[in-house]
Chain A
């Protein structure tokens, strides 16, 4: 907006304002009704949905589901969409930071005098697209629960490790056979890529954002390592997989 447009806006606004009503009691009454409504909603949610408390935090057991609060789902999903490991920092930090900077700069990017949404097609369409993609990612995140069973057939000596892996929340990010997510590399053939020692080192000392399993009891960890090392993917019917390194 140049100086003339600014003055024009202020003049027009002063006229509209002069014709308006005082804040108290008119706007205050509306605000109060809205606040009462919000209070009723919060109280109802509290009564109906309650406040569950899960089992106590325990670094040694591993039956956990690392799930954030629902309004972070869209960020979490972003990680799934952007997969190559060298781009992970871009998804975790880069995209949110860029979005925040753009939000800060918005008033300086869009300086036109027009305020009606239908006459600012770029801003309006961009806004609607962003809302939809955030909504869609949130929906994806909500729908993709983390499964905790692996349907793959394994030799009986690996059965124990399979259960440990299934219960340890690995499937929230990794895919094993038909189960699991796409956030991290697929593990279906991890045994062909890493030997036991390497798998163990990765479990103790993983690349972020994977949590460390160093606290896991030795017996469970050994079973886990044995099972993972047995995943060689010889099965011809299975789709050959490209992304395999690292855990």
Chain B
């Protein structure tokens, strides 16, 4: 059955499609138009922000031959951190950092919230995964001698990142506020207090006073979700800038086979 065709609405002349001129270049297809649009938008952005140079510098730098799977451990650590950040944001939507309500809100997340236990589990086990990955990455760079000239600074930033990662897990451990986290944190703060000179001040600072109280929890929370993640993100940025600037090491047993004669000439 053929549907009756409706008459075309009376468009003004300039909106009506003009027939192709004979011999003119073929009209761009829809796909080409979209691509053209994308390029225009990217150009618009680049004209103002000049990002393309940096992006090209980062993405199209060369990576030495022989780079193996051990070299993926750094970006895997970064991925674990990003995963912690994302799951952490979702937990923060439901969590209340007050000594009286913290446990209830953690219980609420675990038992009531849709996928709550799953996200809490990802955050909890993600911390374990991140610690393992950061150690593996550190071991890789250690055994490959990657901390040597010119990458010393990368190593030093890395050590700060390890310390900050431990601070994250120490402060995060208290937040569910169950028996285990409460007592473990008391012991941890006491251990800090045994340190010479700064020890007592450090544990007083952590506890927010001489005793373990309501301030302790909010203090840990602020450190755990604002101070340290910010520092880690900034330092990862610096770390990656150095990776791109200096390049990743070649595996240590690789040698560029330079012409022996050439080498002798240089010497």
Tell me the minimal C-beta distance from B142 to chain A in angstroms.
Answer: 6
Tell me the minimal C-beta distance from A109 to chain B in angstroms.
Answer: 10
Q: Please indicate the chain A residues that have their CB under 8 angstroms from the CB of B125 in the complex.
A: 42, 45-46, 49
Question: Given the complex of chains A and B, what is the CA–CA distance between A16 and B251 in angstroms?
Answer: 10
Q: Please indicate the chain B residues that have their CB under 8 angstroms from the CB of A12 in the complex.
A: 255-256, 258
Q: Please indicate the chain A residues that have their CB under 8 angstroms from the CB of B184 in the complex.
A: 66-69
Question: Given the complex of chains A and B, what is the CA–CA distance between A49 and B166 in angstroms?
Answer: 22
* Structural contact, B181 and A89, CB atoms closer than 8 A: no
**A19 nearest CB neighbor, chain B only:** B65
Q: Please indicate the chain B residues that have their CB under 8 angstroms from the CB of A69 in the complex.
A: 127-128, 169, 173, 184
Question: Given the complex of chains A and B, what is the CA–CA distance between A114 and B195 in angstroms?
Answer: 38
* Structural contact, B179 and A54, CB atoms closer than 8 A: yes
* Structural contact, A54 and B178, CB atoms closer than 8 A: yes
**B110 nearest CB neighbor, chain A only:** A53
* Structural contact, A66 and B187, CB atoms closer than 8 A: yes
Q: Please indicate the chain A residues that have their CB under 8 angstroms from the CB of B190 in the complex.
A: 208-211
**A28 nearest CB neighbor, chain B only:** B59
Tell me the minimal C-beta distance from A112 to chain B in angstroms.
Answer: 8
Give a binary string over B113-133; 1 marks a CB under 8 Å from any A CB, 0 the rest: 000011111111111110101
Question: Given the complex of chains A and B, what is the CA–CA distance between A66 and B188 in angstroms?
Answer: 9
Tell me the minimal C-beta distance from A211 to chain B in angstroms.
Answer: 5
Q: Please indicate the chain B residues that have their CB under 8 angstroms from the CB of A79 in the complex.
A: 191
**A65 nearest CB neighbor, chain B only:** B180
| In the complex, number of A-B residue pairs with CB atoms less than 8 Å apart | 249
* Structural contact, B152 and A107, CB atoms closer than 8 A: yes
Q: Counting CB contacts under 8 A, is A13 at the interface? A: yes
Tell me the minimal C-beta distance from B65 to chain A in angstroms.
Answer: 5
Known A27-B71, A42-B80; contact A9-B149, beta-carbon cutoff 8 A: yes
* Structural contact, A120 and B187, CB atoms closer than 8 A: no
Within 8 A of A (CB), among B241-267: 247, 249-250, 252-256, 258
Determine which residue in B117, B194, B249 has the highest number of CB atoms from chain A within 10 A of its CB, and name it: B194
Interface of A is mostly: helix
Which of B26-34, B155-163, B225-233 is near enough to bind chain A?
B155-163
Q: Chain A interface: which size bin?
A: 35 or more
Q: Please indicate the chain A residues that have their CB under 8 angstroms from the CB of B98 in the complex.
A: none
Q: Counting CB contacts under 8 A, is B67 at the interface? A: yes
Q: Please indicate the chain B residues that have their CB under 8 angstroms from the CB of A38 in the complex.
A: 76, 79-80, 83, 129, 133
Q: Counting CB contacts under 8 A, is B16 at the interface? A: no
Q: Counting CB contacts under 8 A, is A144 at the interface? A: no
Which of A29-37, A155-163, A224-232, A236-244 is near enough to bind chain B?
A29-37
Contact partner of B149 (CB less than 8 A), chosen from A6, A30, A64, A106, is: A6
* Structural contact, B131 and A71, CB atoms closer than 8 A: yes
Give a binary string over A103-124; 1 marks a CB under 8 Å from any B CB, 0 the rest: 1101110111111110010011
Determine which residue in B63, B128, B169, B255 has the highest number of CB atoms from chain A within 10 A of its CB, and name it: B63
Query: Can you list the 10 inter-chain pairs with the closest CB atoms, starting with the nearest?
Result: A46-B121, A115-B145, A57-B182, A93-B195, A107-B152, A54-B178, A15-B256, A115-B252, A34-B72, A45-B125
